[in-house]
Amino acid sequence: MRKHFSAHIEQLIDQHDDIVFVTGDLGYNALENLGVKMGNRFINAGVAEQNMIGVAAGMASQGYRVICYSIAPFIVYRCLEQIRNDLCFHNMPVYLVGNGGGYGYGIMGSSHHAIEDIACLSGLPNIRCYVPAFVEDMHVCLDEMFARRAPAYFRLGLGKKMPEYLSIRDFGAAGTENQKSELTIVAQSPVANNLVAALNGHPFKDRVELFIVNKMPVHQLPGELSASIARTKNVLTIEEHISIGGLGSAVSLLVNENSLPINKFISLHAEGYPNGLIGSQSYHQQISGLDEENISRIINSYF
Amino acid sequence: MEHEKLQGELRKKILSLHKMANSGHIGCSLSCIDIMISILKYKEPDDSFILSKGHAATALYTILNEIGEIPDEAMDTFYKNATTLPAHPAALKYPAIPFATGSLGHGLPLASGIAKAKKLKGAAGTSYVLMSDGETNEGTTWEGAHFAVANKLDNLLVFIDKNRLQGFGNTADILGDTAAAKVWDAIGFEVMEVDGHNINAMLDARQIMTGNKNGKPKLIIANTIKGKGIDYMENKMEWHYLPMSEAQYNDALNRIKIDYNV
C-alpha cells in the first residue's frame, strides 16, 4: 500500500503547488523519489513529532495542505495534544499519515504498534480517520482527504487488491445486496484480507453480506448497512484495533440507537497482549482471533 | 515619556477585566503587556503574532482592543458564559488570534511553521511569538528551536517574557534558566536582551532583529517584573493566581495613576 500511496501523492503534487510533505525522519526506501520531486516542499522535521505537528499547523494557516508522515504510533500518541489543539481546534488541513497501523510492525514490538489510534483520534473535533482495507479504497480515501481540507489521519497498512465481489461506496466498500443473507459482516483495515481469505470457498459465503467501513468516526449507519442488519439480525465486526472506541463499539451504539433487533453480535478486535509475548503481525492477529481460521470458525457459529 | 500613557491605560484595562471577572493571571499579564505593545501596536500588515503564554490573555485582549481587533462589546463579556474571550484565547474567533493557546509549548512550533511557509512562498513579514521563561521548560521549545535554526528562519522573532517566576517557584530553583541567552545562542539563534518594560528599547531591538537577514532565527529576551506597576504584586508568585479584593483594586489603580500618570 505504501508504494501505491507514494505514487498517488506524486501525481497530486504535480497538479497542486500548495501541498507540502513533512516527515518525522522516516521513509527510507519509500519516500526518496517524492523528496527529489518535491524539492523544498519536502521537509524532514527530524525526530521531533510534536514540533512537526505544530509546524504543520502553522504552515496550514498560511494556505498549505500539509502531509505529516511517520509510523502510526509515533504520529498519534506522542503528539496527541498538538493534534487536538493545533490541528483539530483550528480545523487545519493537515494530513497525518501513519504507516503500519494495528500490529503492522509486528516483531518490532509494542512501541511500534498502534491498536488504540482510532480511539485516540476519532473523537477529536473536525478530524476524519481513514483506515482503508485495500489498494482500491485507499485511492478513494486519499482523493477525499485532499479535497476535504480538514484534519485527517490516514492509517497505511499492507492492503491487497480488493476482491471483485466488492465495490466502492461512500463509507468504504460493500458487496451486492443478498436477500438470503443471514449474517452482516462489517470489517475495517487490511485485516479485512483475512476475512476475504476466510470467505474464499466458505460453505456459507453466499449467506453473508460484507461491508468495509474505512472512515471513522461513524455518526450514523449507512443505509444499506442498516438495512442489512435489520434483515439478518446477526452482526460480526472485525478490526485490528481495541474494542474501546473502535468500529465494533461504534456499530453497537448505532444499532442500539436505531433500535435494530439483534440475535447475535460478535466483535473480533485487537486484544492487546494477553500472553505478554511479541511476534509478527499475523501472530498477533492469531492471538486476537483475527486470523483466517478463527474468522471462518466464528462465521460458522452463526449458522 | 512617549508610551507611558498607553502603558498605564492598558494596565488599568487589564485590572478592570480581572476585577470584573474576579479572576487571576494578573501578574503574568502585567509582566508582558509592554512587550505586546511593542509588537502589536507597531505591527506591519504581513506580520503575524502568537501569544504562546496563553494565560496572559487579558494583556492580549487589551492591546487587540486598543488596535481595533476586538470590539468593546466583546470585552464586556470576558470570562462570562458564552464569551469569545475566555481565560485563555479561543480558536477561530478573531483573525488577530490565529491560534488558541493555553497549554504551554505550542507557540514556537506554530510560529516556526508560519515563518517556514513565508519562506517557501517568498512572502514578506515577520512571524512573532511571545513565550514565558517558565514555558521554555517544555520540550517542544527545543524541538522548535532546532527546527527554526536548521531551516534558517530569520523571519521568526521570538520574545521571551523573562520574569524569573513560574507556576510553583523561581525558574532558577526548578529546572534552572532554560531561557538563558547562552543556551539559545549556542543553538544558533541571534539573541538580544532588553528591558521588557522599555518600549523604545524593544522597538529598537525589534528593528535591528527584523533587519538582520543573516539566516538566523531571532530571540529577544525581555527582562521583566511579574506584576509590573503594582507594588504589592511585583515579583510575587501568588499574583499568578489571585484575584483582587476591592481595596486591592483601588490601591492598584492609585499606584498606576501615580506611576504612569493616567
> In DSSP terms, which residues pair with A167 in a beta bridge?
A174
Indicate the SS3 state at residue A222: coil
Can you give the pLDDT at residue B1? Answer: 64
Beta carbons of A85 and B112 less than 8 Å apart: no
Answer whether B122 touches A (CB < 8 Å). Answer: no
Q: Is residue B184 a contact partner of residue B145, using CB atoms and an 8 Å limit? A: yes
Q: Which of chain A's residues have a Cβ under 8 Å away from the Cβ of B47?
A: none
Answer whether B103 touches A (CB < 8 Å). Answer: yes
| Three cell numbers written together for A256 | 442500539
- The segment(s) of chain A belonging to CATH 3.40.50.970 are 2-156
From A48, A59, A63, residue closest to B143, measured CB to CB: A48
Average pLDDT on A159-176 reads 95
pLDDT level of residue A261 (50, 70, 90 thresholds)? very high
Q: Which CATH class is domain A167-300?
A: alpha beta
| Domain at B4-260: CATH architecture | 3-Layer(aba) Sandwich (3.40)
Tell me if ipTM is over 0.90.
Answer: yes
Minimal Cβ distance to B143: which of A40, A43, A50: A50
Q: To the nearest 5 percent, what fractions of chain B are helix, strand and coil?
A: 50, 15, 40
Tell me if the pTM is above 0.80: yes
Task: Find, among A117, A127, A87, A31, the residue nearest to B99 by Cα.
Answer: A87
For an interface test with A, give the residue of B120, B138, B151, B153 to mutate (most A CBs within 10 A): B120
Are the C-beta atoms of B127 and B155 separated by less than 8 Å?
yes
Q: What pLDDT does B146 receive?
A: 98
Residue B96 near chain A (CB below 8 Å): no
B111 and A45 within 8 Å at the Cβ level: the answer is no
Contact A31, A8 (CB under 8 A): no
Provide the pLDDT confidence category of residue A98 given band limits of 50, 70 and 90. very high
Domain boundaries, chain B: 4-260
pLDDT at B63 over 80: yes
Positions of CATH 3.40.50.920 in chain A: 167-300
d(CA B142, CA B150): 12
**Residue A48 to residue B146, Cβ atoms within 8 A:** yes
pLDDT tens digits, A120-150: 999 999 999 999 999 999 999 999 999 999 9
Q: What are phi and psi of A63, to 5 degrees?
A: 105, 0
CATH superfamily of A2-156: Thiamin diphosphate (ThDP)-binding fold, Pyr/PP domains (3.40.50.970)
Strands A172-174 and A167-168: antiparallel
- Chain A residues closer than 8 Å to B102 by CB: 85
Q: How far apart are CA A77 and CA A81, in angstroms?
A: 9
- Count CB-CB contacts under 10 A for residue B21: 17
* Per-residue confidence (pLDDT) for residue A158, from 0 to 100: 86
Considering only the beta carbons, identify the residue of A20, A64, A85 that sits closest to B103: A85
Q: How far apart, in Å, do the first and last CA atoms of chain A sit?
A: 35
CA–CA min distance A154, chain B (Å):
22
